[in-house]
Chain A
Amino acid sequence: MATGNLNLLRNAFSKLRIDHVFTRSLQRPRYRPPYWYAPKESATSDEFLTQENKQFIEEVMQDKMQLQNSLQSPLVNIDQNETPTWNPQTRRVGLIARKIGNYPLWTKDGKKVLTTLLQVVDNHVIKYIPPEEFNPMKTSSVQWKEKRKLGCMLVGSETIDPSTVTREYCGLFSNAGMLPKRHLFRFMVSPESYISPGTPLYATHFRVGDYIDVRAKTMDRGFQGVMKRWGFKGMPASHGVTKTHRRPGNIGSGGEKARVWPGTKMPGHMGNRWRMLRGVKILRINTQHNVIWTLGVAIPGETGATCYLFDTVLPLKKHSSSPPFPTQPLVDDLPLEYFDESIQRFDERSITYEEV
């Protein structure tokens, strides 16, 4: 159904100008197919293959996946002198993660904090497009080619079975020698933070104590009234109030502009919008399963939803020293868990007494 909708949208948009898409209102959700759009799902049909042949095809795919996983990251071999230097203005790549749940952690003061777990599953860099060649479909003003400073890094997450997707979609990945991924996203990066296609990205790309921005689609709450949607106070539940407990009340002001202003807060569809949550602190990182524990439960989206992680742009919480740049390569003997200093580790003593 999603593909059907996307196809309808694609047909509609193909009639418009390719390089500059017009949008109307500010609050309306904006959908557009990405510039690299290729049909994704392939129609399955009855293949009259024997059981052994089906197992053989599985075997070939497993071997390819193993090969992909065991490929040495090219970053391991880079000399220290050749590593591009980081400065506070450089933007580096982000990660595609999945929200897997909420869990409490305790600080050293004994205070309980709720955290969200974000798992980084099987991220690989697919492609890099330098700023001169990058020509996307922009909603706001079209930038001059000379002024463009950021390149586009395509990152994919979660490898899937190639026989479930079309050949065109697979072709996006086979140019980097990889199996197809479920999600593809682009990160705008500065040219110094170039990573070669095929490099895996792990949760250790961020460090404990860093602040990140999380972009995700909010939970779809459907058609909601004005109290939940806009936080109106409503009216008293009793004391003679007739049939008006959760209604918006007055919607206009009268006088010369005697009409309902566009953008007046009213009941309507709530949720399912792209939102960016800024300045989320990382409290803990598990290196075995690539899970990032973030402070707070306000990460948009349901459990299992995809979210995109970036280095924060908030001025007081940005990186002041160099993070793993361009990304953290695969290192064998990493500790299993990294904890922030404020978090109590339960394998450590919490209270110590002095022997008197």
Chain B
Amino acid sequence: MNQADVSKLVSKLRVKVLPKHRNLPGPKGPEGRIDKLRKTVTGLIKFERIELNYNRADEARQYAERLISEAIRHGDCHKPTMDTADFWLLEKELVHKLFKVLVPRYETSNLSYTRMYNAPRLQYGRTIDKVVLELRGNPFPDLLNNKSNNKLLIQNVLLDAAKNDYRQTKIAEMAKNIGKDIGTKQNTDSKLNEAPEKPNIS
């Protein structure tokens, strides 16, 4: 009722966040977890596309998204943001890259800043989920080979020609039926109006 509205204090992350963080266990404990994630976030900002295990990638992704959203929100003159960037990015040129390259890239977008794909796993051996974590708009070629837009592929050419042929025969048959049943002329007329008029390209 009288609670302060805290929902606008921090940008909402545009990726799914689990209710509890992962422990990423190791010899150094929680400090080691933060170190691992720092290295991962540094690597992601530096190389823009990295391949690693799912759990570490998902944790690092949350931190990377938060870092970029803070940078966009506050800009590079804001001392707390600069300190966070300084802590998380182990190479100091990457701080410049974050504010000078990534912020302009993602300022206007309302999508997430990172993307995660499933990567090929070991065929024999332990079932470890491997993923590829990348920043959107990276200079490498697309990982998803989306060929579905290519209407020049042979299957699309064949199907397109078959489609024109099929619709022509359908229209020809309907034209025949109009001539036959004069009593049901009303129905067939409405059918013709519904059928799309396809130009004879083939």
Any A–B CB pair closer than 8 Å = yes
Kindly state the separation between the CA atoms of A159 and B57 in the bound complex, as whole angstroms: 44
**A48, A51, A57: which has the most chain B beta carbons within 10 Å?**
A48
For B26-38 the 0/1 string (1 means CB < 8 A from A) is: 0000000000000
Q: Are A49 and B163 in contact (CB under 8 A)?
A: no
CB neighbours (8 Å) of A242 from chain B are none
| CB within 8 Å of B: which A22-77 residues | 47-53, 56-57, 60, 63
**B100: CB under 8 A from chain A?**
no
CB neighbours (8 Å) of B159 from chain A are 49-50, 53, 56-57
**B150: CB under 8 A from chain A?**
yes
**A binding-site residues for B, Cβ under 8 Å:** 47-53, 56-57, 60, 63
For B147-186 the 0/1 string (1 means CB < 8 A from A) is: 1111101011001101100100010000000000000000
Q: Of B150, B155, B160, B170, which one neighbours A52 at CB under 8 angstroms?
A: B160
A206 CB, min distance to chain B CBs, angstroms: 34
Kindly state the separation between the CA atoms of A60 and B170 in the bound complex, as whole angstroms: 11
CB neighbours (8 Å) of B166 from chain A are 56, 60
CB neighbours (8 Å) of A63 from chain B are 170
Q: Of B149, B162, B170, which one neighbours A50 at CB under 8 angstroms?
A: B149
Q: List 25 A-B contacts (CB under 8 A).
A: A47-B155, A48-B147, A48-B148, A48-B150, A48-B153, A48-B155, A48-B156, A49-B148, A50-B148, A50-B149, A50-B156, A50-B159, A50-B160, A51-B148, A52-B160, A52-B163, A53-B159, A53-B160, A53-B163, A56-B159, A56-B162, A56-B163, A56-B166, A57-B159, A63-B170
Kindly state the separation between the CA atoms of A107 and B156 in the bound complex, as whole angstroms: 62
Kindly state the separation between the CA atoms of A48 and B156 in the bound complex, as whole angstroms: 8
CB neighbours (8 Å) of A49 from chain B are 148, 155-156, 159
**DSSP class of A's interface residues: helix, strand, loop or mixed?**
helix
**B binding-site residues for A, Cβ under 8 Å:** 147-151, 153, 155-156, 159-160, 162-163, 166, 170
CB neighbours (8 Å) of A51 from chain B are 148
CB neighbours (8 Å) of B155 from chain A are 47-49, 53
Kindly state the separation between the CA atoms of A63 and B182 in the bound complex, as whole angstroms: 23
Kindly state the separation between the CA atoms of A350 and B162 in the bound complex, as whole angstroms: 62
Kindly state the separation between the CA atoms of A52 and B159 in the bound complex, as whole angstroms: 9
B87 CB, min distance to chain A CBs, angstroms: 43
Q: Closest 7 A-B residue pairs measured CB to CB?
A: A56-B163, A53-B159, A48-B147, A48-B148, A50-B151, A50-B156, A53-B156
Chain B: CB-nearest residue to A63:
B170
Kindly state the separation between the CA atoms of A339 and B150 in the bound complex, as whole angstroms: 58
Kindly state the separation between the CA atoms of A354 and B138 in the bound complex, as whole angstroms: 88
Kindly state the separation between the CA atoms of A63 and B159 in the bound complex, as whole angstroms: 17
B136 CB, min distance to chain A CBs, angstroms: 22
Kindly state the separation between the CA atoms of A49 and B162 in the bound complex, as whole angstroms: 13
**A56, A60, A63: which has the most chain B beta carbons within 10 Å?**
A56
Kindly state the separation between the CA atoms of A64 and B163 in the bound complex, as whole angstroms: 15
CB neighbours (8 Å) of B153 from chain A are 48
Given A48-B148, A49-B156, A60-B166, list of 6 further CB < 8 A pairs?
A: A48-B153, A48-B155, A50-B159, A56-B159, A56-B163, A57-B159
CB neighbours (8 Å) of A57 from chain B are 159
Kindly state the separation between the CA atoms of A50 and B162 in the bound complex, as whole angstroms: 14
Kindly state the separation between the CA atoms of A53 and B99 in the bound complex, as whole angstroms: 45
B3 CB, min distance to chain A CBs, angstroms: 43
A16 CB, min distance to chain B CBs, angstroms: 34
Chain B: CB-nearest residue to A55:
B163
B71 CB, min distance to chain A CBs, angstroms: 37
